[in-house]
Structure 1
Amino acid sequence: IVQTLMKHLNSRQFAMFRETCFGYFLDLPIVGMQPRLIHSLLLREVVHHNGDELWHSLNGCKIHFGISEFALVTGLKCTGVAHKRYDDNKSCGLIDRCFQGIKKLNSQAIIDCFEGKRWSSDHDAVKIAVLYFIHSFLFLSLPDSPVSIGHFELVESGEFENYPWGKLVFNDTYSSLRKAFRGKRSKKYSRLYGFPLSFQIWFYECCPRAKDQIAVYVQ
């Protein structure tokens, strides 16, 4: 994601993105998804009574992944009100400026806008980059997945800086992981949504043996 941002933003715009609430992600080392590891962890899920956590049994030890662990791993804000009503019929400046003629506001529309650099100012470039980051990195989804008008409004107004994105991203991630093998544990593949990379990194932190075996620990 960092290389993609650097490719499409100029140095000034990239520096402006660094100043946003997501800027710290630019300093993260490259981490690749390990689907087999996540698959193996999900097969070791155990029954528990907390409906907001995932519990797993690994070598006789039980470890859990909830919103607290998610917040520690990602650094995303996970407190505050995550639901705010927006009038879908109300005009949004960012949409009017950068998405004219676009009938479906989905993930692909944001990707096309970002890669096509359809903006006329540095500020709009950063706003589109923020939307791209949210819907191409934090929310793994299909290209035709609709994007809430509220997300455009949050970015346009600047309110996204203090918005509890962590709550939304965790809920999507948790729901996706819980449903991955529900009733079909023999499945070899399952598409994950949200931010499953956080689940993978959490395992690295819980399992010291993972260091230098399946992951390289970076200070």
Structure 2
Amino acid sequence: MYRVTCFGYFLDVSDVVLSGQFCHHVLLQECHVRDVDDTASTLWFYVGNEVLRFSTVEFCLVNGLTFGDSCESSSYITKHMDKRILRSYFRDGKVHVKIFANWFRNLGPDNNVSGDDMVKLALVFFLEMTLVGKNDRNAIMYWALQLMNDLDAFNSFTWGTFIYGRIFDSLCTYVVGPDDKYNKYLESPAKRKAKKYNVYGYGQLKQYPNGLCLDMRQG
């Protein structure tokens, strides 16, 4: 049943090891293009004497997720939508990603979760842990649990547009200059360390802007 959902084809995707150095290198090549009539949520990279674009369109082309103009959850969720999953397994309250992930991974063969519910919970697990990939101290998306009760609505949601928006917001804040507080911290030579940042979101897709745009230009 999972295979026929909107995320089912990911079962056939080969494992890809995230390269932090590659991601950082690509982000350092980001540039700004003048006089381009484009959306604000577009990234440009200067690679090999070429200016390459990476936007929602390229993101959805490479991963197959649904592209659309609207990714507002409110347009998919109705006030009459069933909340049974949310109430049955999450007590209708906030649950952090780490708690949910540990609970899901430790489900044994004798659990009381039905087959249909297991598929729905697996969809949310994949969404939170892989596609969105946020800090495990954050709460899982309440509306996604609600939307999950209607698989037709879940499958038709514009996940590509939504996830790209999350990744774009993160990418725009990864490589930034140190703030005043950090500069003061570096005044002491004994405390002088390299600044680090965390990479959240669909890790495999963060490695694609460089190669994807080159492939499209050559094809």
The TM-score normalised by the length of structure 1 is 0.77
Structure 1 contact 119–125 (Cα < 8 Å) conserved: no
1:17 and 2:2 matched:
yes
- 1:141-190 CA-to-partner distances (Å, cap 9, x unmatched) read 11121223210111112111110111111011111111111234x96532
Indicate the residue corresponding to 1:155 in structure 2.
148
- Where does residue 31 of structure 2 map in the other structure? 46
Aligned to 1:13: none
Q: How does 1:203-214 map to 2 (within 5 A)?
A: 203-207=210-214
Question: What is the root-mean-square deviation of aligned Cα atoms in Å?
Answer: 2.6
Per-residue Cα deviation, 1:87-122 (whole angstroms, up to 9, x for no partner): 99x97200222224x853221232133113255210
Which runs of no fewer than 5 residues in structure 2 stay unpaired?
A: 179-192
Give the 5 Å matches for 1:28-39.
Answer: 28-39=13-24
Q: Which runs of 5+ in 1 are unaligned?
A: 1-15, 209-219
The percent identity for this pair of structures is 24
Query: 1 CA distance for matches of 2:114 and 2:105?
Result: 15
For 1:57, what is the secondary structure of its paired residue? strand
Give the residue type in structure 2 aligned to 1:125: M
Of 3, 6, 11, the match for 1:26? 11
- Counterpart mapping for 1:1-219 below 5 A: 16-48=1-33, 50=38, 51-85=40-74, 92-100=83-91, 104-117=94-107, 119-158=112-151, 159-184=153-178, 188-207=195-214
Is the CA contact (8 Å cut-off) linking 1:65 and 1:199 kept in structure 2? Answer: no
Q: Secondary structure at the match of 2:113?
A: coil
Q: Matched residues in 2 for 1:170 and 1:103: separation?
A: 27
Higher relative contact order (CA 8 A, sep 6+): 2
Deviation at residue 30 of structure 1 after TM alignment: 1.3
Could you tell me how far apart the structure 2 residues matched to 1:187 and 1:73 are?
A: 33
Query: What residue number does 2:184 align with?
Result: none
What is the number of residues matched between the two proteins?
191
Checking the alignment, whether the CA contact within 8 Å between 1:176 and 1:193 is kept in structure 2 is yes
Secondary structure at the aligned position of 2:123 is classed as helix
Structure 1: which amino acid aligns with 2:175?
F
On the 8 A contact 2:47/2:210 being kept in 1, the answer is no
TM-score by length of 2: 0.77
